[in-house]
Amino acid sequence: MSSVPPAKFFVNRGIVSSRTDLLNVLRPLEKQTVAYRYYRGHELVQHGMGWVERIVAEEPETSTFFTPLSICLNVDSFEHLEFETRPDQLLTYRLVQGDEAVVIDFAPSGDAVASPLEPRQLEFDTSGYVQMELLGPDATGDE
């Protein structure tokens, strides 16, 4: 009989505290649009939507930050992660550090709320501009 305890397992919900588990549970959020809410105690301090650029571990010089343009999650910024499956089969994540918590909800691209933040080609209105061509030193003006 082995004295090594078996690895934990979770089905649709759980609380994880190891760096590896945090990274694995959060990994599906990378390159996705999410809604986030930041709580201090029970008070909602900030909220918004953003694009998850990076999820890192073992990078003490990398901060966790949430902005509408970019989100970076360093798993070492949190004591533990609580997750549960919503009725729509998507996950809600609660990252906890002391009495502070960030709640993250995946916002699928079909969601009307998420659509303004989906990556898209930048648009530039050129109707008010004139195109000019510069001739090189060997060019003649009658071309």
Q: What angle do CA 26, 31, 109 make, to 5 degrees?
A: 105
Tell me, yes or no, whether 19 lies in a domain.
Answer: yes
**Residue 46 domain boundaries:** 13-116
Tell me, yes or no, whether 106 lies in a domain.
Answer: yes
Chain segment 28-43, per-residue pLDDT in tens: 999 999 999 999 999 9
Tell me, yes or no, whether 75 lies in a domain.
Answer: yes
**Ramachandran area for residue 128 (φ above 0: left; ψ -120 to 50: alpha; else beta):** alpha
Using pLDDT thresholds of 50, 70 and 90, give the confidence band for residue 102: very high
Sheet containing 91-97: give its strands across: 13-16, 80-85, 91-97, 100-106, 33-40, 43-56, 71-74, 65-66
Tell me, yes or no, whether 64 lies in a domain.
Answer: yes
Residue that wins the pLDDT comparison between 2 and 66:
66
Report the chain's mean pLDDT, rounded to a whole number.
84
Taking 80 as the threshold, does the pLDDT of residue 121 lie above it?
no
Tell me, yes or no, whether 30 lies in a domain.
Answer: yes
Tell me, yes or no, whether 6 lies in a domain.
Answer: no
Chain segment 41-75, per-residue pLDDT in tens: 999 999 999 999 999 999 999 999 999 889 999 99
Tell me, yes or no, whether 5 lies in a domain.
Answer: no
Total domains in the fold of the chain: 1
